[in-house]
C-alpha cells in the first residue's frame, strides 16, 4: 500500500468516499446477479465484484460466495505485472488460471482498467463461477483429473477487448472451448457490470479530484488495518494449533489427509502457518493459495463478526495478517497439479482456525461445521433436448454451535458462509429432469451441546435425464471412514454424510465423496447430510429447549435422554423431572 | 357529492383528511390507541363532528367515502401477537418454511439467530399426495392425513390454517379438498389456499405468503368487523375502502380474503400521493422520499403508476404478492453516529429511536444522532421543533457530538455535525439510487417529493448527491398518505404460473388464461360496486432468457387480451433487458414463467385538490445561524414562516422555512417558490430559466 499523503486528510471525506466506493461494488453485483445465466453463478451467488485502486489494492467488494470473494485480487496482481504499461482505456482482460493467481479454474474473472484524463485510476473486476470452462468433463468437476489441463481451458490473462474493440478471434477461441452457449452470455454480463462500475468511479473522481480521492482511499486502507491491529493486539500472544482431516483424494477413498494450522499472535500481528499440512494429493484435492487465503479470511471475518466488529472488506483488513502455505503441500500444490476441489477445503481450513483459537477466544469460535457434500450433474433434458447442468445444493449440512447461539439449521458450507441459495423444490423439477421426493431436516442430526450444532437434512430425488452424469464434491462421507468435525467444550462431534444410489436395475452404490458416476434415467439418490458439532455440555441445555425439539419431532426421546439427560414421558410433551434431575446431577 | 375522508393510522397519531364537496379540507390528528386501533378512528370522527358543531350521526350521514390504511396486521406480525396458525405441506416438505431460500442475512455473523417460523414444526403437518410440475396427479391426496392434522390443530387451538402443496400452482384439487376437510373439522378457522392466493411456481415464496396470509387473516377480519360495527353505530352508510400494499384499495370483504395485502399497506399510498404534489406541474413521474425518526423510505412513480415488486420481505419472511416497491433503509433522525477504531465515521443503522432518542431530547439518550447534528447545524430550531411540543437541548447535542465524533477525530463539533449530516445523506441517496438504477432508471429524470418530519431538512442535500434539480415539499406532509388513499384505485392482481418456452406459447392458451383472470377480476370489482365502464386491465408476462434465475416482468398492450401479438413480447423483453443489464441477446430462447393481470377499478373520486388553506397569522420575522455546506461555515439566514407564504412567493437560499412539523433547509444553491398547490418547490438557482420553464406557476 502506498501512503504518500499530499492533501490534508479529512476523516469525513474518507468516510463518505468509503461509502461511495462500496455502493459501486454493490450496484455491480446486483446487476450481475440478476442478469447472469450459469446456475452456480447466480443460484449460489458464486460471484464477486470488486473496485481496486490502480495498484490492485481491493478498495471495496460485494460478495455472495465468501470463498471467491478474495480470489479476484491475486489474479489482478499478476495481470498488472504481466501487462505493465500495456494497459489502455477500453481494454477488457479475462483470466482464470490458478497458476497465475486464480483460486479455481471455473471462477473466471473480467478485469477492466479505468482511466480519467488518460491516467489509470483503478480497476473494476467481476468474477464468477462459470457453468463450464472446458476441460475433460462438462462443468469442470472431475475427480479423475490429475493435472490442470484436464480440468479446464487455462486462460492466463488475455485481452478480449482491446482499446474498445472486441477481439473477435479471442472471443471465438474461448467460446469454441466452452460447452454451454450461455457462458459467453455471462461474460457479456460481467463486462457490462464492470463498464457501469467504471463509469460510476469516474463520476466520483471528477467530483473530488484524483488527488483527494487517492489520498483518502489510502487513508481508508490504513484505517481498516488499524482496526484489525487494535483488535489482534487485544488477543493473548502465543502459538496456537488446530487441525482437521480430509478423507479421500478421489483415487484412494479411504486415505486421510491432515490440514493443520499453527497460529502465532504477536502484538498486533497474526500469522497463519499451514506448513505442517500434508503434502499435495495426486488428484483434485489441492487448494491454490488464492483459495486458501480466502478460507483464512472467512474464518477471520467470522471471528471478528462474533466480537461485533464490522470492518470494510478492503486490502487494509488483511494487511496485518500473514499466511504461510508450504509449496508442495495441499494448500500450495506444485504446477501442474489438479485443484478443482480446493474451494471445498475451506471447511478444513476454518475448522483448523476455530479449534486453534478456541482457547483464547472461546466466546468467538464455533464448534466444527460438518464438512459439506453435494452433487453436480450434467446431461440432456429430454423435454427440450438441451444440455442442462445443475447442483443439488439443497442437500445441507449443519454449522457448529457457538457460545450463546445454536448452529443455523441446514445452512451448509463455510465457503459460502450462509449466502448459498438452495434451489427451490418446484424450480428444481421444472428446470431439470428430476423428481424430488423429499427434503427435510434430519432428526437427531444436530451435534449435542448446550448450544447444539445446526441440523442437517435428509433428501431423496430421482432423475430422467439423458447421457447424465453426476459428481460429488465433498467430504465427511460415512462409508469412507470420515473424521467428523470437532465439538467444543463438551459438545458432541458433527454428524456424517452418505448418499445411497439405487440404479434402475436395483443395484445399490454408496457414492464416494469425490466420485463421478453415470446416472442412467431412473436412478434414485437418497442422501443424509449430517448436522454440525455442539458447543458446551449438553446437560446444561435448558430442558424447555430439549422438550420443544422432541415435540417438533427433530429430536427423539431416546437422544433427549442419552445426550441431554432429559427424560420425556411417552406423551412427548411432559418431562419426568425426577429422573431428569438425577441424570443431570 | 358527499364528504370523503382519508384515515391513516400510524403508531403514534391517526391522521384524518376530510374533503368537503366544495373542495375545502380539514386536517385532524388524534392519538392512536394501540390496544384497540378502531377506537382512534371513532374518537377522531367524533372530534371532527364536534368541531363542526354536529352530532356524529349527522356528520357521518354526509360522508360518502372513507378510505383507510392500517398497520394493525404489520404490528401484530412484528410483535408476534397473531393467531395460532397451522400449515399443511406436502409430505416430505415439512421444513420448507424455516429453510427459506437457504441463506442467512449476514454472511460471517455466526451469532445471528434464525428467525422463528410463524408456524412451529408440530403444527406444520405433512400430507401424502403428489402433483407433478405439469399438474398431473401422481398420488392421490391422502385424506386421512388431512383429518389427522385437523385433529392436531383442534387440540392445539389453531385458529387459522395455510395449505400449501407442491406444484399447486399447476393443479389445485388437492388444496381444494384439504380446505374442505379443514373447514369441516375446524368450522370458523381462517383458511388460505396457496394456489388461490398466488398460483405461481416456487414453493417457499408461495408457502411463506400463504402462511403470512393466514397469520394476518383473523387479525384483519376482527379489526374490520369491529370497525364496520363502530361505523354502523354512528349511521355511516357510505363506502369503506381499505388500502392494500399493492397501492390499490379494496372493500373490507376482499381484503379479509387476501389479508397478506394489508401487511406493509401503511406507506403504500405514499407514492400515489406524490403524484398529487407533482400534478400541479403536469408531471406523471416522481421519486418520493420519507424520512422519519428511524427509517427512510424511497419509492418511484413512473407514468402515473408506482413501481411494483414481487420479492418483498417482511419480518425476514418472503411475501411474493405484488407490492409497491418501497426501499426502506435504517436512516433517520435517531440514527447513531460513531467513530470506529480505524478512525472512520459511521452513521446508523443503529438508532436511538424515540426512546431514549437523540441526546437533545433529554430522555436518557447520550449517543450523538442525526437529529443532534441537525440541531448543531441550526437546521432544526430547538425551541420550535414539532410546534415547540418537545423542547430540545442544544447543549446536550453539542456534548454528545463532541464526545462521540469530534474528539475522536480531532475536529470541531461543527465539522463533526456536518460530517454526520453528509454521511446520512449519502446513505439515503444510495437508497434512492438503488431503487432507480436496479430498474434501469436515471434518478436525475425525476423530481423528488419530500415527506416525513426529517425529510425536508435533508432532501436538498440528497438531491445534490443525486444531481436532481427539483424537489417539492407539500405544505402538510402529515396528511400525505391519507391524501394518497383518497385517489388510489381499486386494484387486484392475478397470476398463473406457466412454465414454457415463449415460442411454444399458444394464443388460445394465453387468451383463455387472461379471460379467466378478467372474469375473476370483474366479479370481484362488481362485488365492490364498480361498474364495467370503470374497469381496466393491465396484462403482463414474466420472462427470462433460458437459464436465467431472475425473471423480468414485461407489461404488454391490453390489445393482447383479445388478439395476442407474441412477437411484441420478444421485442419488449429484449429492450427491457438491455435497459436493465446493458445487453440483450436476440437469438437466445426466452422462457415464460408467469402470466399476470392487474385489474383496476377507477374509484369514483374527483381529484384531491391540495390548494393551500388560508394563511394563518404571520409570525414575527426572525433570522438564525445555519451551516452552509457551500461556504463551509455558519451563516446567518432568513427564517420564513411557511404558513405565511402564498403561491408565487419566492425566496433565495441559504434560508430556512419553518413549517411547524418540519423545517425546509434551503441550501445556498437553491431557490424556493410556492406553487399553486401551496407546495414548496426547491430548484437549483443556476439553472433557473430552464427549470422554471418546467414548472407550472400559473
At A125-143, the pLDDT tens digits run 999 888 889 999 988 889 9
How confident is residue A469, by pLDDT bands cut at 50, 70 and 90? very high
Name chain A contacts of B577, Cβ cutoff 8 Å: 35
Query: What's the rounded Cα separation, in Å, for the pair A291 and A66?
Result: 10
How confident is residue B324, by pLDDT bands cut at 50, 70 and 90? very high
Least confident of B156-160, B289-293, B392-396, B456-460: B289-293
Which site among A12, A409, A434 would you substitute to test the B interface, given the most B Cβ atoms closer than 10 Å to its Cβ? A12
Taking the Cβ of residue A404 and every Cβ of chain B, the question of whether any pair is shorter than 8 Å is answered with: yes
Interhelix angle A11-35/B413-437, rounded to 10 degrees, is 10
Per the CB < 8 A criterion, the answer to whether B684 and B691 are in contact is: yes
How confident is residue B614, by pLDDT bands cut at 50, 70 and 90? very low
Q: Measure CB to CB from residue B108 to each of A396, A417, A439 and give the nearest one.
A: A417
Given a cut of 90, whether residue B659 has pLDDT beyond it is no
Q: Which residues, 6+ apart, have CB-to-CB distance to A78 below 8 Å?
A: A95, A100, A101, A157
C-alpha triplet A385, A389, A392: angle, nearest 5°: 130
Query: What's the rounded Cα separation, in Å, for the pair B187 and B203?
Result: 27
Helix (H) or strand (E) holding B398: helix B394-401
- A1 burial (CB, 10 Å; 0-12 / 13-18 / 19+) is middle
Percentage of chain A modeled with pLDDT above 70? 98
Q: Which residues, 6+ apart, have CB-to-CB distance to B356 below 8 Å?
A: B363, B364, B365, B366
Asked whether the beta carbons of residue A12 and residue B423 sit closer than 8 angstroms, the reply is: yes
pLDDT at A39: 66
How confident is residue B427, by pLDDT bands cut at 50, 70 and 90? very high
The set of cell numbers assigned to B431 is 437508497
Measuring CA to CA, which residue among A283, A331, A254 is closest to residue A143?
A283
Query: What's the rounded Cα separation, in Å, for the pair B14 and B66?
Result: 14
pLDDT at B608: 61
pLDDT at A87: 98
Which site among B549, B593, B627 would you substitute to test the A interface, given the most A Cβ atoms closer than 10 Å to its Cβ? B549
The set of cell numbers assigned to B279 is 400534478
Percentage of chain B modeled with pLDDT above 90? 70
How many H-runs (helices) and E-runs (strands) does chain A carry?
Answer: 14, 20
Helix (H) or strand (E) holding B509: helix B507-527
Q: Collapsing DSSP states into helix, strand and coil, what is residue B495?
A: strand
Given a cut of 90, whether residue B580 has pLDDT beyond it is no
Query: What's the rounded Cα separation, in Å, for the pair B262 and A292?
Result: 49
pLDDT tens sequence across A243-295: 999 999 999 999 999 999 999 999 999 999 999 999 999 999 999 999 999 99
How confident is residue A70, by pLDDT bands cut at 50, 70 and 90? confident
Given a cut of 60, whether residue B376 has pLDDT beyond it is yes
Asked whether the beta carbons of residue B548 and residue A36 sit closer than 8 angstroms, the reply is: yes
Measuring CA to CA, which residue among B696, B672, B674 is closest to residue B683?
B672
pLDDT at B617: 43
pLDDT at B1: 61
Q: What is the mean pLDDT of residues B569-594?
A: 88
Sign of CA dihedral B392, B396, B401, B402: positive
- A465 burial (CB, 10 Å; 0-12 / 13-18 / 19+) is buried
Which domains does chain B carry? Answer: 78-213 (3.40.50), 335-412 (no CATH), 491-601 (no CATH)
pLDDT at B114: 96
Asked whether the beta carbons of residue B95 and residue A440 sit closer than 8 angstroms, the reply is: yes
The set of cell numbers assigned to A471 is 459428481
Q: How far is CA B39 from the centre of its chain?
A: 24
Helix (H) or strand (E) holding B232: helix B203-233
pLDDT at B550: 80
How confident is residue A31, by pLDDT bands cut at 50, 70 and 90? confident
Three-class SS string for A458-470? EEEEEECCEEEEE
Query: What's the rounded Cα separation, in Å, for the pair A194 and A217?
Result: 20
Per the CB < 8 A criterion, the answer to whether A44 and A421 are in contact is: yes
Measuring CA to CA, which residue among A220, A226, A223 is closest to residue A208?
A220
At A241, phi and psi to the nearest 5?
A: -125, 140
Q: What is the mean pLDDT of residues B218-241?
A: 93
Given a cut of 60, whether residue B231 has pLDDT beyond it is yes
Which chain A residues in 271-330 lie under 8 Å from chain B, judged by CB atoms? 298, 301-302, 304-306, 311-312, 316
Q: Collapsing DSSP states into helix, strand and coil, what is residue B479?
A: helix
Cis peptide preceding B551, ω within 30 of 0 = no
Beta strands B670-674; B650-652: pairing state: antiparallel
Name chain A contacts of B549, Cβ cutoff 8 Å: 33-34, 36, 39, 42-43
Sign of CA dihedral B681, B683, B688, B693: negative
pLDDT at B618: 53
At A526, phi and psi to the nearest 5?
A: -125, 120
Asked whether the beta carbons of residue A302 and residue B108 sit closer than 8 angstroms, the reply is: yes
**Domain residue spans of chain A:** 11-225, 366-539, 543-584
Q: Measure CB to CB from residue B166 to each of A23, A188, A426 and give the nearest one.
A: A426
Q: Measure CB to CB from residue A226 to each of B342, B416, B427 and give the nearest one.
A: B342
Given a cut of 60, whether residue A341 has pLDDT beyond it is yes
Query: What's the rounded Cα separation, in Å, for the pair A112 and A162?
Result: 11
Given a cut of 90, whether residue A343 has pLDDT beyond it is yes
Q: What is the mean pLDDT of residues B125-130?
A: 98
Note the ipTM here: 0.95
Q: Which residues pair with A192 in a beta bridge?
A: none
Q: Which chain B residue has the Cα nearest residue A412?
A: B102
Asked whether the beta carbons of residue B108 and residue A305 sit closer than 8 angstroms, the reply is: yes
Taking the Cβ of residue A12 and every Cβ of chain B, the question of whether any pair is shorter than 8 Å is answered with: yes
How confident is residue B604, by pLDDT bands cut at 50, 70 and 90? low
Query: How many residues make up chain A in this entry?
Result: 585
The set of cell numbers assigned to A53 is 485502486
The string of DSSP letters for B317-356 reads EEE-S-EE-EEEES-STTEEEEE-TTS-EEEEEEE-TTTT
Which site among A15, A161, A406 would you substitute to test the B interface, given the most B Cβ atoms closer than 10 Å to its Cβ? A15
How confident is residue A3, by pLDDT bands cut at 50, 70 and 90? very low
Per the CB < 8 A criterion, the answer to whether A579 and A567 are in contact is: yes
pLDDT at B611: 56
Query: What's the rounded Cα separation, in Å, for the pair A505 and A240?
Result: 53
Sign of CA dihedral A177, A183, A189, A190: negative
pLDDT tens sequence across A514-566: 999 999 999 999 999 999 999 999 999 999 999 999 999 999 999 999 999 99
Query: What's the rounded Cα separation, in Å, for the pair B335 and A415?
Result: 33
Averaged pLDDT score across all residues of chain B: 91
C-alpha triplet A190, A193, A196: angle, nearest 5°: 150
pLDDT at B529: 85
The set of cell numbers assigned to B342 is 480505524
Using left for φ > 0, alpha for ψ between -120 and 50, and beta otherwise, residue A167 falls in beta
How confident is residue B312, by pLDDT bands cut at 50, 70 and 90? very high
DSSP B91: T
Taking the Cβ of residue A438 and every Cβ of chain B, the question of whether any pair is shorter than 8 Å is answered with: yes
What is the number of other CB atoms lying within 10 angstroms of the CB of residue A357? 22
First vs last Cα of chain A: how many Å apart? 58
Q: Which is more confidently placed, A120 or B548?
A: A120
Using left for φ > 0, alpha for ψ between -120 and 50, and beta otherwise, residue B10 falls in beta
Beta strands B85-90; B124-127: pairing state: parallel
Amino acid at each position: 500500500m502506498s501512503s504518500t499523503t499530499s492533501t490534508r486528510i479529512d476523516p469525513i471525506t474518507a468516510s463518505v468516499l468509503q461509502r461511495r466506493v462500496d455502493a459501486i461494488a454493490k450496484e455491480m453485483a446486483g446487476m450481475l446477479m440478476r442478469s447472469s445465466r450459469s446456475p452456480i453463478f447466480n443460484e449460489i451467488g458464486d460471484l464477486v465484484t470488486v473496485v481496486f485502486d490502480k495498484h490492485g489494492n481491493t478498495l471495496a467488494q460485494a460478495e455472495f460466495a465468501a470463498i471467491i470473494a478474495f480470489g479476484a485480487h491475486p489474479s489482478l496482481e499478476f495481470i498488472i505485472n504481466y501487462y505493465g504499461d500495456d494497459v489502455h482505456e477500453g481494454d477488457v482482460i479475462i483470466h482464470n488460471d490458478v497458476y497465475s493467481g486464480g483460486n479455481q479454474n471455473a471462477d473466471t474473472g473480467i478485469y477492466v482498467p479505468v482511466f480519467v484524463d488518460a491516467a489509470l485510476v483503478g480497476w473494476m473486476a467481476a468474477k464468477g463461477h462459470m457453468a463450464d470452462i472446458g476441460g475433460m468433463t462438462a462443468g469442470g468437476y472431475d475427480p479423475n483429473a490429475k493435472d490442470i489441463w484436464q480440468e479446464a481451458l487455462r486462460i492466463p490473462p488475455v485481452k478480449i477487448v482491446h482499446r474498445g474493440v472486441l477481439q473477435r478471434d479471442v472471443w471465438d477461441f474461448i467460446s469454441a472451448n466452452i460447452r454451454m452457449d450461455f457462458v459467453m452470455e455471462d461474460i457479456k454480463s460481467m463486462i457490462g457490470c464492470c463498464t457501469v462500475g467504471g463509469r460510476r468511479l469516474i463520476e466520483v473522481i471528477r467530483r473530488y479530484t484524483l488527488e483527494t480521492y487517492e489520498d483518502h482511499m489510502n487513508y481508508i486502507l490504513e484505517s481498516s488495518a488499524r482496526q484489525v491491529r487494535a483488535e489482534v493486539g487485544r488477543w493473548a500472544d502465543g502459538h496456537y494449533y488446530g487441525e482437521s482431516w480430509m478423507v479421500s483424494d478421489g483415487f484412494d477413498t479411504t486415505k486421510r489427509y491432515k490440514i493443520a494450522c499453527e497460529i502465532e499472535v504477536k502484538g498486533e500481528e497474526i500469522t497463519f502457518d499451514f506448513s505442517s499440512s500434508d503434502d499435495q494429493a495426486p488428484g483434485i484435492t489441492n487448494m491454490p493459495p488464492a483459495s486458501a487465503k480466502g478460507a483464512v479470511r472467512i474464518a477471520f471475518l467470522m471471528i471478528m463478526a462474533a466480537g461485533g466488529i464490522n470492518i470494510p472488506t478492503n486490502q487494509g483488513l488483511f494487511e496485518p495478517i500473514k499466511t504461510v502455505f508450504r509449496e508442495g503441500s495441499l494448500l500450495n500444490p506444485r504446477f501442474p497439479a489438479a485443484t478443482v476441489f480446493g474451494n471445498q477445503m475451506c471447511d478444513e481450513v476454518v475448522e483448523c482456525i476455530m479449534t486453534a483459537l478456541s482457547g483464547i477466544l472461546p466466546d468467538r469460535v464455533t464448534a466444527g461445521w460438518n464438512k459439506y457434500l453435494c452433487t453436480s450433474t450434467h446431461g440432456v433434458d429430454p423435454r427440450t433436448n438441451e444440455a442442462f447442468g445443475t447442483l443439488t445444493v439443497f442437500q445441507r449440512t449443519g454449522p457448529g454451535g457457538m457460545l450463546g447461539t445454536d448452529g443455523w439449521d441446514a445452512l451448509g458450507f463455510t465457503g459460502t458462509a450462509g449466502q448459498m441459495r438452495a434451489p427451490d423444490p418446484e424450480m428444481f423439477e421444472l428446470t431439470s429432469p428430476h423428481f424430488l421426493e423429499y427434503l427435510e431436516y434430519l432428526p437427531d442430526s444436530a451435534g449435542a451441546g448446550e448450544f447444539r450444532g445446526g441440523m442437517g437434512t435428509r433428501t431423496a430425488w430421482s432423475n430422467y435425464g439423458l447421457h447424465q452424469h453426476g459428481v460429488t464434491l465433498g467430504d465427511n462421507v460415512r462409508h469412507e471412514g470420515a473424521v467428523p468435525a470437532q465439538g467444543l467444550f463438551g459438545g458432541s462431534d458433527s454428524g456424517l454424510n452418505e448418499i445411497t444410489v439405487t440404479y434402475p436395475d436395483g443395484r445399490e452404490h454408496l457414492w464416494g465423496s469425490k466420485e463421478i458416476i453415470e446416472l442412467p434415467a431412473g436412478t434414485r439418490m437418497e442422501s443424509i447430510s449430517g448436522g454440525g458439532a455442539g458447543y458446551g455440555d449438553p446437560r446444561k441445555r435448558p430442558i424447555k429447549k430439549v422438550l420443544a425439539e422432541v415435540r417438533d419431532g427433530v429430536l427423539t426421546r431416546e437422544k433427549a435422554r442419552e445426550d441431554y439427560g432429559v427424560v420425556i414421558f411417552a406423551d412427548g410433551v411432559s418431562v419426568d423431572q425426577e429422573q431428569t434431575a438425577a441424570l443431570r446431577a | 357529492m358527499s364528504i370523503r375522508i382519508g384515515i391513516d393510522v400510524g403508531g403514534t397519531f391517526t391522521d384524518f383528511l376530510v374533503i368537503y364537496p366544495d373542495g375545502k379540507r380539514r386536517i385532524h390528528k388524534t392519538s392512536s390507541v394501540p390496544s384497540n386501533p378502531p377506537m382512534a378512528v371513532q374518537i377522531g370522527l367524533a372530534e371532527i363532528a364536534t368541531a363542526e358543531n354536529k352530532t356524529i350521526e349527522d356528520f357521518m350521514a354526509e360522508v360518502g367515502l372513507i378510505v383507510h390504511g392500517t398497520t394493525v396486521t404489520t404490528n401484530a406480525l412484528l410483535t408476534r401477537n397473531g393467531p395460532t396458525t397451522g400449515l399443511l405441506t406436502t409430505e416430505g416438505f415439512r421444513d420448507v418454511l424455516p429453510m427459506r431460500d437457504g441463506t442467512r442475512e449476514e454472511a460471517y455473523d455466526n451469532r445471528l439467530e434464525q428467525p422463528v417460523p410463524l408456524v412451529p414444526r408440530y403444527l406444520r403437518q405433512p400430507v401424502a399426495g403428489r402433483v407433478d410440475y405439469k399438474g398431473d396427479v401422481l398420488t392421490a391426496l391422502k385424506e386421512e392425513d388431512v383429518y389427522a392434522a385437523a385433529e392436531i390443530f383442534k387440540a392445539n387451538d389453531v385458529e387459522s390454517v395455510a395449505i400449501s402443496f407442491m406444484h399447486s400452482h399447476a393443479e389445485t384439487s388437492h388444496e381444494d379438498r384439504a380446505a374442505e376437510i379443514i373447514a369441516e373439522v375446524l368450522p370458523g378457522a381462517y383458511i388460505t389456499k396457496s394456489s388461490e392466493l398466488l398460483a405461481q411456481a416456487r414453493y417457499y415464496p408461495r408457502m411463506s405468503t400463504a402462511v403470512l396470509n393466514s397469520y394476518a387473516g383473523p387479525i384483519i377480519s376482527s379489526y374490520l368487523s369491529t370497525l364496520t360495527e363502530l361505523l354502523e353505530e354512528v349511521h355511516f352508510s357510505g363506502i369503506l375502502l381499505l388500502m392494500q400494499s399493492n397501492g390499490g384499495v379494496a372493500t373490507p370483504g376482499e381484503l379479509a380474503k387476501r389479508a397478506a395485502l394489508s401487511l406493509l399497506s401503511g406507506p403504500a399510498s405514499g407514492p400515489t400521493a406524490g403524484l398529487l404534489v407533482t400534478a400541479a406541474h403536469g408531471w406523471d413521474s416522481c421519486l418520493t422520499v420519507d424520512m422519519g425518526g428511524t427509517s427512510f423510505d424511497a419509492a418511484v412513480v413512473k407514468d402515473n403508476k408506482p413501481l411494483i415488486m414481487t420479492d418483498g420481505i417482511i419480518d425476514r419472511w418472503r411475501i411474493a404478492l405484488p407490492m409497491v416497491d418501497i426501499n426502506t433503509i435504517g436512516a433517520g433522525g435517531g440514527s447513531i453516529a460513531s467513530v470506529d477504531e480505524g478512525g472512520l465515521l459511521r452513521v446508523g443503522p443503529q438508532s436511538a429511536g424515540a426512546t431514549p432518542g437523540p441526546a437533545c431530547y433529554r430522555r436518557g439518550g447520550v449517543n450523538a444522532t442525526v437529529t443532534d447534528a441537525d440541531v448543531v447545524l441550526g437546521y432544526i430550531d430547538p425551541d420550535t421543533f414539532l410546534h415547540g411540543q418537545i423542547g430540545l437541548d442544544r447543549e446536550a447535542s453539542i456534548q454528545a457530538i463532541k464526545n462521540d465524533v469530534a474528539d475522536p477525530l480531532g475536529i470541531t463539533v461543527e465539522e463533526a455535525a456536518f460530517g454526520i449530516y453528509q454521511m446520512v445523506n449519502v446513505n439515503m441517496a444510495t437508497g434512492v439510487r438503488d431503487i432507480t438504477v436496479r430498474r434501469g432508471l436515471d434518478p436525475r429524470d425525476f423530481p423528488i417529493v419530500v415527506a416525513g418530519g426529517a425529510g425536508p431538512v435533508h432532501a436538498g442535500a440528497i438531491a445534490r448527491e443525486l444531481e436532481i434539480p427539483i424537489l417539492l415539499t407539500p405544505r402538510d406532509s402529515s396528511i400525505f398518505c391519507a391524501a394518497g388513499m383518497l385517489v388510489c384505485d381499486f386494484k387486484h392482481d392475478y397470476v398463473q404460473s406457466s412454465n414454457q418456452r415463449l415460442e411454444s406459447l399458444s394464443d388460445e392458451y394465453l387468451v383463455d388464461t387472461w379471460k379467466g383472470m378478467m372474469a375473476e377480476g370483474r366479479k370481484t370489482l362488481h362485488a365492490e360496486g364498480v361498474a364495467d365502464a370503470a374497469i381496466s386491465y393491465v396484462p403482463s408476462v414474466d420472462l427470462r432468457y433460458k437459464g436465467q434465475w431472475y425473471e423480468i416482468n414485461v407489461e404488454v398492450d391490453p390489445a393482447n387480451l383479445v388478439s395476442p401479438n407474441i412477437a411484441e413480447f420478444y421485442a419488449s423483453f429484449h429492450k427491457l433487458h438491455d435497459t436493465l443489464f446493458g445487453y440483450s441477446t436476440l437469438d437466445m430462447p426466452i422462457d415464460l414463467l408467469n402470466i399476470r393481470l392487474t385489474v383496476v377499478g377507477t374509484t369514483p373520486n374527483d381529484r384531491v385538490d391540495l390548494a393551500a388553506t388560508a394563511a394563518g397569522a404571520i409570525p414575527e420575522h426572525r433570522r438564525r445561524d445555519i451551516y452552509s455546506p457551500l461556504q463551509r461555515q455558519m451563516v446567518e439566514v432568513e427564517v420564513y414562516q411557511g404558513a405565511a407564504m402564498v403561491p408565487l412567493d419566492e425566496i433565495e437560499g441559504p434560508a430556512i422555512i419553518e413549517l411547524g412539523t418540519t423545517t425546509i433547509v434551503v441550501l445556498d444553491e437553491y431557490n424556493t417558490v410556492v406553487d399553486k398547490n401551496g407546495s414548496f418547490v426547491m430548484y437549483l438557482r443556476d439553472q433557473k430559466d430552464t427549470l422554471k420553464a418546467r414548472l407550472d406557476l400559473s
